[in-house]
Structure 1
């Protein structure tokens, strides 16, 4: 359970960093790309001992790590497009509701436990995610021509979580977790560099030191959010559907509280209801595993 808590705390720090990007005018794409290289470096120098880096392409998990690295940068760009076309609330809902994908895969593909408490908790969790993510009284509105973008964000985010579960269960040895995580970030960073180089040739690239600092601030908690999540998935006594539900909903609840305390966010009634449902869902899902 400690690994799950550490993953949630790391993800909450990511939320704070993203909020500060807006305040200080940080270029999110540049910071994200720097963040991938920082996260990769944290793994290489902090959690990998005696590994032969030249043998990474021969690892059984290497193709999966490449796929995840591609999905990381692809989902980010899709989220940016969705924000521009449909608003931030749509992205928040699509990203957080994607927890349904790994939860359902855990139950149906891995025959993980179900029960009244757990199913109720999962349903409340999905309701909580929606209610806390929508910050306007009108709810969310998506034009039919733009529906494909949040749908791809939803699928991409869900596939990332599901793939992490599959790879860590089937291919990643315990002493390879750091190397596996770093390879994912390195792949995403290299793809991001191609994007920046392309922007440079097109004359659209404007580099800034604050984007570098923003990437460093994001990269460290980003690495730990994945590293500790993989360790949490290996925890005894908790199946993946429980871990993913508690992880996503805890991030929603704590990030909402941090938004109130640090950024003086004003919540609507439905946001408060969502926060209450989030806490209740965590209690139900946790108790279902006991």
Structure 2
């Protein structure tokens, strides 16, 4: 349970840092890629055994972690496009409602059963995430951009269930830091390649502020994944319960942080979503 709480806290801190990016005019893409390399270094510091780079390719989780690294960058890019075309709220809803994917995956991959109470809890969680994340501002949505939130939903959910599958099937406790580090390293390398491709249209600009922002993001980013894996492994809860509590608690906690520290205003719909989030967490934790 402690690992799950720590995962929620570090994940919530990531959203706060993203909010600060907006305030301090940080170039998000460069900070994100820096953050991946920093998260990789943090993980290596926690890995006590000697590291032989040539042996990494022989690890049973190597190709899976490589796939996750690509997926990290790809989903981030789609999330950025979704935010630009449909708004941050739509992106947030799509990302957090992706908890459905690992829940369904747990049923088929691990024969998990859902009680009536937990089923109600998941349905309340979906309603809570939607209500707590949506804003009142209205904008015209182009039909050809409606695929974007679906891709965010599918991509985020695939990342969650892939991490669960790989860590349970191929990663022992001692190698969790190495496994996490390699995912971030792969994401960082593919991110650099992505930037190099973009330099033809958008010249590469590096400044200390973006690098510092990436460092601040990379540390909690590593621990959010590290403690999520620990929670999935050590918790008495099912996968469905862990992912639901994790996602809904992050929405709840970041919403409250927005009110207290950033003077964000909430509608009645948002407050209803917060109430449903609390009910959902209680039901899932029973």
TM above 0.5: yes
Secondary structure at 1:7 match in 2: helix
| Equivalent residue, structure 1, for 2:281 | 282
Q: Is the 8 A contact 1:37 1:189 kept in 2?
A: yes
Q: Is the 8 A contact 1:66 1:187 kept in 2?
A: yes
- Report how many aligned residue pairs link the two structures: 286
Shift of 1:46: 2.5
| Equivalent residue, structure 2, for 1:240 | 239
Q: Quick one: distance in 2 between partners of 1:137 and 1:203?
A: 31
Q: Quick one: distance in 1 between partners of 2:148 and 2:18?
A: 21
Q: Quick one: distance in 1 between partners of 2:140 and 2:67?
A: 31
Q: Quick one: distance in 1 between partners of 2:202 and 2:278?
A: 48
| Equivalent residue, structure 2, for 1:162 | 161
The two structures have a TM-score, normalised by structure 2, of 0.96
1:103 aligns with 2:83: no
Q: Which runs of 4+ in 1 moved over 6 A?
A: none
Unmatched runs of 5 consecutive residues or more in structure 1: none
The two structures have a TM-score, normalised by structure 1, of 0.95
Q: Is the 8 A contact 1:137 1:268 kept in 2?
A: no
Q: Quick one: distance in 2 between partners of 1:199 and 1:236?
A: 42
Q: Quick one: distance in 2 between partners of 1:236 and 1:133?
A: 28
- Measured on the aligned residues, the alpha-carbon RMSD in Å equals 1.4
Q: Is the 8 A contact 1:48 1:178 kept in 2?
A: no
Secondary structure at 2:41 match in 1: helix
Q: Is the 8 A contact 2:47 2:175 kept in 1?
A: no
Change (3 A) 1:70 1:206: same
Q: Quick one: distance in 2 between partners of 1:233 and 1:152?
A: 25
Q: Is the 8 A contact 1:48 1:179 kept in 2?
A: no
Shift of 1:18: 0.1
